[in-house]
Amino acid sequence: MQTGIAAGAGTLAVGLWPRKAEAGDGLTQGDAAILRFLAAAEIIETDAWQQYNELCGIQDPEVPGGSGNAPFTAAVAVLDEDMAQYVHDNTEDEFTHFDFINAYLVAHGMQPANLDHFRTLPSSKATGAQQIGRLTNLMQLSVDTSWWTRYRSPNLNPDFGDTLPQAVPGLVQGQFPGIPRSDADLSPGDHLQAIANTAGFHFAMIEQGGTSLYPSLAQRVSNTEVLRILLSIGPTEAMHFQTWQDKAGNAPPLVDPTNGLVFPDLNAPPFGGELFTTNLIMPEPTVFLDRKFPVCSIVRPTETKGAAMAVVKFLTDTGLFRGQSDAFFATVTDLAQDADAARREQDERENGDDDHKNSDDHGDGRHSGQHDHGRG
């Protein structure tokens, strides 16, 4: 797994590469832009997952780095005794995603995504963490938990402009650690468990974003092999999300004695019911494309217009990039805008306009537009 990181060492970020006038070997510029943005998104995901794995996963040749933190690992295991294995496997998967996509770009004569220039954020000082530069900040998170109610709602969908309530309202209103910042965070017990609970909800927040991102961008792809890549990687994100949604429901209710953060009992008033009950982990059928159609069990959102920029905004709003440089934000914005500008060549020939045919706003109960609801 180290090959993916080492391969880009010492290379400038992709936003600083000179752009080629034409894509190579059958790839359109749009397809290359989509793949490059997805590779960058996977690099960012991997950076976050690697930090989690160092402290509460399994360290081995597949996912090297770190040496584990026994108290934090035990707190995370309250959500499920197999959490360390799940964290390890999710981390390994993200490594393979960006490694493959970058290798595919290189094989077609295109520049890969590389964000090593921006690995400047500090590591946790807790026992078990590597002391290296990071892309992401897991110590000041504002975790959005609206994914919890979104996948339980029978009549609301962010693609229609709907806003869903938060399962843990306090998490999105402050800045909370998803990993111990130092060994001082290992006590008192309810404080450490609150950090583990935060991680559990953050795991699902990350992966529901990937679940939506791949089908959203697949609608803009021209090359069938590139489409196959997106359709093959995207479902693994959904598998991750389903696992983490189930485990987040096991987070014990508590109040963090150090900051007042409340993790409610989601099965009891004022929560409970269809929107909150913890064992309802299958996607509830909801409105799709047009409210005149029957409800359908779907991934949501999947609107393609502005999907990549929505991801950047969502992750920024949830604190994942807190402390990053202006140059970092300029680079990821550039990558996202290039991906959002991609158009299926067939659509361009058929429509003769600048908008994807599925990206227009409609009347008669349909809605399309750029939303950042849950596109982590």
Q: Is the pLDDT of residue 376 over 70?
A: no
Contact indicator for 139, 200 with CB cutoff of 8 Å: no
Which of the residue ranges 128-142, 286-300, 354-368 would you say has the lowest mean pLDDT?
Answer: 354-368
Q: Is the pLDDT of residue 36 over 80?
A: yes
Start-to-end CA span in the chain (Å): 24
Q: Which two tokens stand for residue 131?
A: 């002391």
Residue with tokens 């910042």, as numbered in its chain: 181
Q: What is the mean pLDDT of residues 93-99?
A: 98
Q: What is the mean pLDDT of residues 37-56?
A: 98
Phi, psi at 138, each rounded to 5°: -100, 10
User: In the structure, what pLDDT confidence band is assigned to residue 270 with cuts at 50, 70 and 90?
Assistant: confident
Q: What is the mean pLDDT of residues 288-314?
A: 98
User: In the structure, what pLDDT confidence band is assigned to residue 255 with cuts at 50, 70 and 90?
Assistant: very high
Q: What is the mean pLDDT of residues 9-25?
A: 42
User: In the structure, what pLDDT confidence band is assigned to residue 351 with cuts at 50, 70 and 90?
Assistant: low
Question: What CA–CA distance (Å, rounded) separates 13 from 328?
Answer: 9
Question: What CA–CA distance (Å, rounded) separates 186 from 25?
Answer: 53
For the chain, the structural domain boundaries read 2-348
Q: What is the mean pLDDT of residues 107-126?
A: 98
Which of the residue ranges 26-35, 119-128, 268-277, 324-333 would you say has the lowest mean pLDDT?
Answer: 268-277
User: What proportion of the chain, given as a percentage, has pLDDT over 70?
Assistant: 85
pLDDT digits (tens, 9 = 90+) for 122-169: 999 999 999 999 999 999 999 999 999 999 999 999 999 999 999 999
Question: pLDDT at position 48, please?
Answer: 98
User: In the structure, what pLDDT confidence band is assigned to residue 349 with cuts at 50, 70 and 90?
Assistant: low
Question: pLDDT at position 363, please?
Answer: 41
User: What proportion of the chain, given as a percentage, has pLDDT over 90?
Assistant: 82
Residue with tokens 């998967």, as numbered in its chain: 93
pLDDT digits (tens, 9 = 90+) for 202-223: 999 999 999 999 999 999 999 9
Which of 15, 75, 21, 59 shows the shortest CA–CA distance to 39?
A: 15
Q: What is the mean pLDDT of residues 320-339?
A: 98
Q: With 0-12 CB in 10 A as exposed, 13-18 as middle and 19+ as buried, what is 226?
A: buried
Q: State pTM to two decimals.
A: 0.89
Question: pLDDT at position 26, please?
Answer: 77
Average pLDDT, the chain: 89
Q: Contacts from 165-170 at CB under 8 Å and sequence distance 24+?
A: 165/275, 167/201, 167/266, 167/271, 167/276, 168/143, 168/201, 168/262, 168/263, 168/264, 169/145, 170/260, 170/261, 170/262
pLDDT digits (tens, 9 = 90+) for 180-189: 999 999 999 9
Q: Three-state SS for 145?
A: coil
